[in-house]
Structure formats: C-alpha cells, structure tokens
A and B are shown apart, each in its own frame.
Chain A
Amino acid sequence: MRILTTLGSLIVVSLPLLGTAVPAHAANTARSDQDCAQLLERWATDPKAAPKSVIDACKEQLAAIAPAAGPVDAPAERARTASLDPCSGPDAGDSVLCWGPWASLAPAAPAPMVTLNLPDVSIECDLLADQCVPSLILVESILPVASCTPGTPCGFATIVSGFSSTGEAEDTEFGSFRLAADGTDFSVAPKTGDLSGGDIDSLTMTTIVTPRPDGYNNMRSRGDQGDVISRLIARIEQDDDSEILLAADIWTHGTVANPQSGYFAWGNATSQAGLDTLNAGNVSVNYSGAMSVDNATIGAMTVNFGSNPNWTGAWTNPDYSFGAGGTLSGVNMISQPGQFTSNVIGTGNFVQGALVGEPGGAHGITHIIDVTLEGQGRIKDVGLLRDVVASSVIEP
C-alpha cells in the first residue's frame, strides 16, 4: 500500500452570497417630484431636514426621470449635485453630519472570503483501494504542544529542573514525549519542538517489567553513562509481543549538576481506520484515570464520536474540581475557551489531548491540562485515561 500525503495550506470557506439585498427605504411613502425637489433644496442647507432614506428615495426618484429628459452632461450633473448635496463635496468626509461622500447607496458587498487559519489538510490515499481519506491536522501554532498524527507514537510530558519530577506550575513546562516500543529509550521535546531532534534524549536503558495488581505492568528503565543517567518508572500496557501500547508516569534524565525530570503519558495515536470506526458508529466513549503529577486528581472525559466529534471532561481533586469541553480533530483534542467551568479564570487555560490505542484494545487518552482555578491558582498536569465504560450509541 502506498500512501500519498498532500498538505494543503488553507481551508477556504465562502459565506452564502447576499444576492437579494432588501432596500432599507422600501416602505417609504411615495412623494411627488415637486415635493422631492423641495425636500432636496431644504436638505441642501439643512442635512437634518429629512431622514437619509427619504432623501435617497427622492434622489432616485428624480434621477429616474432625468434620462427621459434627454442625455445629461455628466460633469455638469455632478457639479449640480455637489452644489445641492452637502455630503457630496470634497469636505464631506470631514463633516460629522455626513455618512460619507457618496451620492447613492453603495452596492452590496460581495461575499467575503473567510480564511480559517486552523488546519492543514492531510489526505492519505490508498492507491490500491482507490480511496483517499482526508484527515485534519491542526496547525502547530494553535496547539500548545505539537499535535499527533493517527497511527503514530504520541505523548505529552511535564518538564522540571531537578530529579523530583514535580515543581511549581510556573516552573513546569510541557513537551512532546516519545517512547521506544521496548522501553529502552525516550525523548522529550519541550513545547512544540521536533521530536526527531528532541532537546532531551535518553541514554539506551535496560528494562525490568513486573506485574501490578491493577492490570498494568510496572517498568523500570535505567541507563548510565559517565555521569549521565536516564530513568523511567512507568505503568505500561503491552501487547503479546511485549511491545508497549500505553505508558505513563516518571521520567528522569541528565547529570547530577543538570538534571531534568517530569511525568508523561504516552501511546500510539489511534489509527485513521480506528477513528473512522468510532465516528461511523456515533459512539460515546468514557475515559477515566488518575493524573500523574497530582494523582489525587481524577480525570474523566467523554468523547462523542460522529460527524462532528467533540468532548467534555471533568477533573476532580479533594481540593477542587473543574470542567472543560472542546473539539476533536483527527486524534487531537483541544479545549474551547467558552466551555470551561466558571471557576477557571484568566486567560491561556487549555486542555490538550490525543486519542491513543485502538478501539477494542488498549485504548485511552493522553492529555495535559494548564488551568488557573479560582482560589487554587495555576495547575499543570499530565495524565493517561483509559476507556472505562462500554461504548454506547448516541441517539440521534
């Protein structure tokens, strides 16, 4: 199978043409030509003599009889109109009494060309099947951390200085996280950095995997080279070939003098086929789990798949709770500012996530949150949520 990916630069949306503009003065009472002439003469000295709609109607009425009277010398006519119309002169633009130096209504504007700066369009084509599947990839600039592509590794991490993995929110940065399928190395790319040239690349590590009572396995990965160390302590879910499907928790890398650490949540982004299945089924899927930085916080999200997929979520801690909602584009989730609960204050709040794993298998959401809560301050966290309730079809 050969996949061609074409990146488009813009989605252009055209608004419906306003082809049937209704005259604002359609209901005006008809006046005689003489009344109109007198009105225009009064208006020449007093722009408030009559409503503009009435003046315009008289202008049109008198103009309509002018052609019948024979050809009109255009420059002379313009001069005559200017002498009558105080809003037609060269100083009309400076008058607070005039709308503008136009002698008549401007024609209706054509439909604007609205350009959305949101998406690139990626079209994957299966030449053998003669099918092309468009997928929307959110432009990096609108997502706090790099977006994820269906079917590829995808993760998020917090980054702090030191070994503790935990720090003040203001000192905590976000980044993309990549993990080798066997757990022997990882990369962390701060912000929207490119993973292939990630700023933090672990050493090659050895791994020890032991079972946990909660269905995950526990993996400890360790690498040492000179004074550089790399460590992972992670919950993982593996396939039959021991390849890691989902992982979360602690990463550490650096030297004693310059260490960095944090928490992460990682998986393989849901494939396009998996997304298509979920969207075609119009299913609503619930996800839940403890966050990694503060695991007293339980995240619960519901994704409503379909033609216009969206999500809602709530994060509950013994000390606070808040909610958010947003859109789903491909595998990428981003909150909408208007969908936060009222205790989320200030600007710059966001929840970003990605669907990982395949429906029916190890399936979940990796996500990060950065919110300022009334009475609590700023909170940054990262978490892996698992699907917890059987999918249900959304009633139309």
Chain B
Amino acid sequence: MNYRALAAALLLITIAPGAQAGVVTIEAGTIQLMPAANTVAQNSPFTIDLVLDASDPLVPGTHPGLFSGEIIIDFDTRLLSYDNFTLAGGLLSFYLSPVVETIGFTQTVHLGFDNAADLGTVGTFTFTAIGSPGSVATIGLVDGNPIPGSFVNTVPTNQRFIPTATGAQVNIVPAPAGVWLLGTAVGALVIRRRLRHAAA
C-alpha cells in the first residue's frame, strides 16, 4: 500500500495541474523532517523529528486547532536502518500505527496521527546510519494519502489542507578519531591483562 501511495503521489504531481484546473486547493502549512540536513557517524543511532506547522492562517478552521494527517517516509535500507517512531505526547495519538514495508532496497514507514497542535513536533523517528562513510541517505516524505490528501484541521469541523512536505538528508561520516583511539587503548589494555594472566 505504501508504494501505491508513493506512486499516486508522483502521478498526482505529474498530472494534477491539468486535472485540477479551476479547482480550489488549499495548499498551506508544512510538514517536514527536522533537521533537514544531518551528519551522522557510521553505525550511530540518530533521530529525526516530524514537525507540523499549520499555524498559517490559510490553513482552514480554528486556530489553535487540532490537526490530523498521514505520512509516508522512504529511505534506502543499505544506508539507514529504521528503529522506531514515537509520538511527542500530549493529545497526540495514532489513527494508523506505523506500518513498515520493504521492497528491494527501499523501505517505507506509513503512519497516521490525530490531535497535533498548530506548530510542533508530531513525533520522532530513530534510525541507525549503516551506510559507508561518505554516502548520503535521503529520507523522503509525502502525504500518506496523496489523493485527495489526508491532512485536516478537525476544529470545529473537518477541513482539508495540503501542507508542503519536505524530507531530510543524512550525511554518513566515519566514526570520530577519538573513538578509534579510545577503542584501541581499551583493546590494548584488555590484551595486556590477558597476557599477564596467561604468564601467571
């Protein structure tokens, strides 16, 4: 299903200008992964926040409101390993718990949330960078139900809007030199201790 949604999103981007001619579309607000660019040491875990900004007055409904929506992220499994997603708390809840799907080297995570605030973190993804140093991992982000769009302000009634979705990039770098040195020293100490025990 995730891939179908991704394909639908691409299809919509391709043909929507013609199909939507003359039709009112409320494009307002943003949904994005933050930080948008990140540098992570190889084999290190890291987090990326899913942040909604629906404070734009063009977003319909009451402000402050309660916002609901559905997203899909996708990434290369040779570069990143998905660990989990946790909601930020407060009133937030899932109406669609995270669903992970893998086809080839592409993995998607699809989830839907309720009761997000006008501006703030919806939740946090945790990954581990497993790619080789120097590689760049891209995490794509799209509406989980791109046709017709899943985002709504539920206050006072449900009204749809289409936020601009922005993903993130992760630059994978070698582990810091200090870590290598520390590891070498610890290893040397261990070896020395074993040798002493053996001699005794």
Contacts and interface: CB of A to CB of B under 8 A. Distances in A.
Interface string A148-183: 000000000000111111111001000000000000
Interface in A160-211: 160-168, 171, 208, 210
Contacts, number: 98
Nearest to A253: B148
A133 interface: no
B170 to A, nearest CB: 32
A218 B154 contact: yes
A248 B158 CA distance: 9
Interface residues of A, number: 37
Interface stretch (A89-97, A101-109, A228-236): A228-236
Interface string B137-155: 0000000010111101011
Contacts of B154: 212, 218, 235
Given A210-B93, A231-B145, A256 B25 contact: no
Size range of the interface on B? 35 or more
B148 A248 contact: no
A364 to B, nearest CB: 13
A151 to B, nearest CB: 26
Interface in B18-62: 19-20, 22-26, 60-62
A289 B157 CA distance: 9
Contact of A164 (B8, B62, B160): B160
Given A218-B114, A231-B145, A234-B158, A163 B20 contact: yes
Contacts of B148: 163-165, 229, 231, 252, 259, 261
Nearest to B68: A218
Interface string A215-253: 000101010100001010111000000000000111010
13 contacts: A161-B23, A166-B26, A167-B23, A208-B112, A210-B114, A213-B115, A214-B156, A248-B157, A256-B11, A256-B12, A256-B15, A259-B19, A261-B148
Interface of A: 160-168, 171, 208, 210, 212-214, 218, 220, 222, 224, 229, 231, 233-235, 248-250, 252, 256-257, 259, 261, 289-292, 295
